[in-house]
Amino acid sequence: MGRDGHRWNDCLDGLLGGCLNRNTLLFGALGLFLAHQMAIAWGRSEVWADSFLDPFLFLPVSLGAAGWLLRRWNAQFRWRIPFILGAWAATSFVFEYWIPSFDPRFTADAWDVMSFALGASAVAWTESRGK
């Protein structure tokens, strides 16, 4: 059994030694996103971060923030897997097909779709744990 009474395979130990839960995912992803935006503003961003970090963090931040607010109203609220899959599909369509069709600053990239999927997977994993 793990520290929190669950099996060890239910726990993904983070950098600070705690289990990855909804709040840790939200505030960790938000912190990384803001740090990356500051690095861009200071001219110190890396190409890989510009290409993949923001798409990876988008769904954990957007669904995490909305879920955090909804849980203030209803503590039992949880995103369901079909909704998370729909959010991933809609995000992928909008940012990788629709917007690049009229804005040259955006490029359609299958790797971003995979980054969105990894972020959606992180949300689904924490939501399925119910913490």
User: Tens of pLDDT along 48-92?
Assistant: 888 889 999 999 999 999 999 999 999 899 999 999 999 999 999
Average pLDDT over residues 97-126: 93
Cα gap 25→2, rounded to integer Å = 19
- % residues pLDDT > 70 (the chain): 83
Q: How confident is the model at residue 1 (pLDDT cuts 50, 70, 90)?
A: very low
Q: How confident is the model at residue 13 (pLDDT cuts 50, 70, 90)?
A: low
